[in-house]
Amino acid sequence: MKILPLQKRVASHAMAIATTLVSSVATAQTPGVVEPRNPDRAVLPVISGSKVSVPFGSCSVGAVLVPKSFFHRLTPYQRATRWLVLAKHCAPMDATIHVGTVAIGNVVWQSAKSDIELVRVSPKPNPRALQCASTHHSAAFCSPVQTYTPLANNQVFMPSAGREARLAVTGWSEAPYGQFCTSGWRTGVRCVWQGMSVEAGVYKPSYEHINAAHSSELESIANGDSGGPVVTYERQLIGIISSGEPVGRSIVYYTPMQQVLYELYSYSLAPADLPTDVGEDNQLSRNGENAGWELAPTDDE
């Protein structure tokens, strides 16, 4: 990873950076005040970069996980349950998280020192179906079968043919040598970031395990992006957006995925495809594309 030093700024600017996204740049937006440029970010199923409503506004989804343990995948209900990674400052413990007016889950865990939290998302029950069986010696016997559809999927909003699309997450990695992207619901896909170090004396968020990146453009992060994914061009998750500077908005701080999965060691990235039961139709294409919405415009548009 290429690390660039943060050039010194005037003292007043450095002090102004001393806020997290929930109090400045990515302040959890008041519900209903601002709609995403891409309406698909505000509908189910949620993916990395989707908009979710929290008690004091709104944030973006960072990652979608499932438990590693076989004992948490025994039933169709368990297999269709998902866990979302958000920024810890987005919502308090036990808070209800919504997509529009639909309650999708609650905050069930928060990191002691990092800016991450976990939201449990229960699946949607499908209409019951009858499963029938018979033998040569008995009549057919039918019993109702309950299946479920996950309300979250391991995909991310990224470019496809010049438009935003729901594309499968390919894994996770450290920040690359060159540029990489953020995909918050407010600013959309912004592939303008490059890793940097923070000089002594310059503000850094109070949370531990924070990496930083600077943008080649101003206004590259905005209210509501908090909790969203930092991601490579190859759709590997790098981290979870934590905070940014209020002046210029060209610096982003994030919790790296290595730290996220270290703390959530019993979880892994969820499957990219929606169906979980044999015989279910895939509700999205193989890559999950929904190319009906244009990318967010640049600052000079």
Tell me what pLDDT residue 165 has. Answer: 95
Statement: residue 267 has pLDDT above 90: yes
**Higher per-residue pLDDT: 274 or 126:** 126
pTM (global) more than 0.85: no
Tell me what pLDDT residue 217 has. Answer: 87
Residue range 259-283: average pLDDT? 72
Classify residue 187: in a domain, yes or no: yes
Classify residue 283: in a domain, yes or no: no
Tell me what pLDDT residue 279 has. Answer: 38
Are the C-beta atoms of residues 204 and 198 closer than 8 Å to each other? yes
**Higher per-residue pLDDT: 38 or 1:** 38
The first and second tokens of residue 129, run together, are: 């179906």
Statement: residue 238 has pLDDT above 80: yes
- Residue among 285, 222, 229 nearest 255 (CA): 229
Return the CATH number at 251: 2.40.10
| Cis peptide bond upstream of 45, omega within 30 | yes
Q: Which domain holds residue 61?
A: 4-126+147-273
Tell me what pLDDT residue 241 has. Answer: 97
State the chain's mean pLDDT as an integer.
Answer: 82
Classify residue 59: in a domain, yes or no: yes
Tell me what pLDDT residue 96 has. Answer: 98
- Write the pLDDT tens digit of every residue in 23-42: 344 445 554 456 788 999 99
Classify residue 295: in a domain, yes or no: no
Statement: residue 235 has pLDDT above 50: yes
- Write the pLDDT tens digit of every residue in 50-63: 999 999 999 999 99
Tell me what pLDDT residue 141 has. Answer: 77
Classify residue 298: in a domain, yes or no: no
Tell me what pLDDT residue 35 has. Answer: 78
Classify residue 142: in a domain, yes or no: no
Classify residue 141: in a domain, yes or no: no
At 142, the pLDDT band (50, 70, 90 cuts) reads: confident
CA 230 – CA 49 distance, rounded (Å): 9
Highest mean pLDDT among 29-33, 64-68, 197-201, 244-248: 64-68
Of 8-12, 83-87, 125-129, minimum mean pLDDT range = 8-12
Q: How many domains does the chain have?
A: 1
Statement: residue 176 has pLDDT above 70: yes
The first and second tokens of residue 162, run together, are: 């010049």
Tell me what pLDDT residue 25 has. Answer: 43
Classify residue 134: in a domain, yes or no: no
Of the chain, the percentage scoring pLDDT greater than 90 comes to 61
